Amino acid sequence: MVTNTTAVLQRENARLQSETQALQKELTELRNFVEILNGLASASANMTGDDALFPLLHRAFQSAMDLLNAPEGSLLLLDEETNELKFVLVKGALAEHLLNYRIPADEGIAGWVIQHRSPALVRDVRHDSRFSHTIDDEFKFRTQSIAAVPVIGAGRILGVMEALNQPVDEPFSELDLTLLNLICRFMGELLVDIDSSESSER
The C-alpha angle with vertex 40 and arms to 159 and 155, in degrees rounded to 5, equals: 35
pLDDT for res 189: 84
Separation CA 191–CA 158 (nearest Å): 8
pLDDT value of residue 55? 85
Q: Give me the pLDDT at residue 31, please.
A: 72
In terms of DSSP bridges, do strands 146-153 and 156-164 run parallel, antiparallel, or are they unpaired?
antiparallel
Q: How many CB atoms lie within 10 A of CB 10?
A: 10
Strand intervals (E) in 28-83: 72-79
The per-residue pLDDT string of the chain (202 residues; one tens digit each, 9 = 90 and over) reads 556 777 766 776 766 676 676 667 766 776 766 676 666 666 666 665 566 678 888 888 998 999 898 999 999 999 999 999 999 999 999 999 999 999 999 999 999 999 999 999 999 999 999 999 999 999 999 999 999 999 999 899 999 999 999 887 778 889 899 989 989 988 888 888 766 655 555 5
Query: Kind and range of the H or E element at 89?
Result: strand 84-91
Number of CB atoms found within 10 A of residue 172's CB: 23
Nearest-5° Cα angle at 35, 33 to 40: 95
Q: How far is CA 157 from CA 45, 78, 93, in A?
A: 24, 8, 27
What domains can you pick out in the chain, each with its CATH number?
2-201 (3.30.450.40)
d(CA 187, CA 24): 28
Burial class of 179 by CB neighbour count within 10 A (0 to 12, 13 to 18, 19+): buried
Alpha-carbon distance 100 to 192, whole Å? 20
What is the reported pLDDT for 115? 95
Q: From the CA atom positions of the chain, what is the Rg in Å?
A: 20
| Residue-level pLDDT at 2 | 55
> Which pLDDT value is given to residue 191?
82
